[in-house]
Amino acid sequence: MAEIPDETGVPPASAAESGPAPRALPPAFAEVYAVHAQAVYYLALRILGDPTQAQDAVHDVFLKAFRKYGEFRGQSEVRTWLYRITLNHCSNLRQSWAARNIHTVADDSVFETGVASAPNPLRVLETKELGERIQRALDELTPEYRLLLLLVADQELSYEQVGELTQQTADAVRGKLHRARKAFNAAFQRTA
Amino acid sequence: MDPNARLRQEHREPTVSKAAQDHRTQAAPLEFATPEEMIRHDRERTEVPEAVGERLAHEVGAEPAPTGRPWWRRWLG
């Protein structure tokens, strides 16, 4: 993992997508990767709070998607389907971390490795202010509020789709969103 | 502390002139009306490292050829 670059990198000049797709991927799948990888990465990054784990998650999610092509029926949007795989993946990871921590409570070094190995300090500094404050504020929220804000921030998802991903109605999403925003605002102020 | 206050973030831009390099970098406040707007801004600045796609391409290349019509081809029409 040490060869994988820093947490977030420099922002793309104008592209809203993930940038050029890897050339060795089948062209159609490369297009899927180009459109959705950034969203999947960001969701994983803010849920896991660890860039190296988030990079692994993107890799694993898209590999799983490639292998499970027969299971996608087109009943949901590709973004929603990829998010569902991502959420399951992150949930499994967090559970395994929690299980591991029962045995090794003080072993925080595992989680610090990725950030410490970032090769470009200027890049990290640039993203640190906003990205780290957002991360710290999100970390203070309940998992449900954190996930709601992250999903609603994706304008490609409707409230119905957010509800589908979080197993509740769109009305429930709307109702909780207000409280999630208030909680985030308060938490964000504390990160100053 | 007003939890409804607009979210502010100091965004430091690199200075352009040589003279300015001796001074503190300029800080232009970015304002976001909602947390989602702030998160969206942060997400747009967050790139997936190229190595992830390269590693994925390597592993996909080693996968057996899929049978049937892949979902990602159906999705693209």
Q: A69, B70: Cβ pair inside 8 Å?
A: yes
Confidence of residue B71 (pLDDT cuts 50, 70, 90): low
Residue B20 touches partner A, C-beta closer than 8 Å: no
Residues of A in contact with B3 (CB under 8 A): 182-183, 185-186, 189
Contacts of B77 by beta carbon, 8 Å cutoff, 6+ apart? none
Residue A78 phi, psi dihedral angles, 5° rounding? -60, -40
Contacts of A160 by beta carbon, 8 Å cutoff, 6+ apart? A170
Dist CA A153 CA A131 (whole Å): 15
Q: B49, A4: Cβ pair inside 8 Å?
A: yes
Dist CA A15 CA B36 (whole Å): 19
Query: Exposed (0-12), middle (13-18) or buried (19+): which is A132, by Cβ within 10 Å?
Result: middle
Dist CA A175 CA A53 (whole Å): 32
Lowest mean per-residue pLDDT among A11-20, A56-65, A77-86, A129-138:
A11-20
Q: Please say if the pLDDT value at position B70 is more than 70.
A: no
Query: Exposed (0-12), middle (13-18) or buried (19+): which is A172, by Cβ within 10 Å?
Result: middle
Lookup result for tokens 């947390």: B35
The tokens describing A12, both together, are 């793309």
For residue B13, what is the enclosing H or E element? Answer: strand B7-13
Identity of the residue in A31, A63, A74 whose CB atom sits nearest the CB atom of B60: A63
**ipTM for the complex shown:** 0.74
Dist CA A106 CA A93 (whole Å): 18
Confidence of residue A118 (pLDDT cuts 50, 70, 90): very low
Give the three-class secondary structure for B37: helix
Q: Which of B48, B69, B74 to mutate to test the interface with A (most CBs of A within 10 A)?
A: B48
**Tens of pLDDT, residues A46-62:** 999 999 999 999 999 99
Q: B9, A21: Cβ pair inside 8 Å?
A: no
Residue B26 touches partner A, C-beta closer than 8 Å: no
Closest CA to A127 of B27, B45, B14: B45
The tokens describing A163, both together, are 């509800």
Q: Which of A3, A52, A55, A59 to mutate to test the interface with B (most CBs of B within 10 A)?
A: A59
Identity of the residue in A62, A70, A181 whose CB atom sits nearest the CB atom of B68: A70
Residues of A in contact with B53 (CB under 8 A): 21-22, 25, 33, 37
Share of chain A above pLDDT 70, in %: 69
pTM comes to: 0.72
**Tens of pLDDT, residues B13-61:** 554 455 445 444 555 577 889 999 999 999 999 999 999 999 999 998 8
Share of chain A above pLDDT 90, in %: 54
Q: B1, A41: Cβ pair inside 8 Å?
A: no
**Tens of pLDDT, residues A125-182:** 445 688 999 999 999 999 999 999 999 999 999 999 999 999 999 999 999 999 999 9
**Tens of pLDDT, residues A27-36:** 888 989 999 9
Q: Decide: A11 and B56 in contact? Cβ < 8 Å.
A: no
Q: How many angstroms away from the CA of B11 is the closest CA of chain A?
A: 8
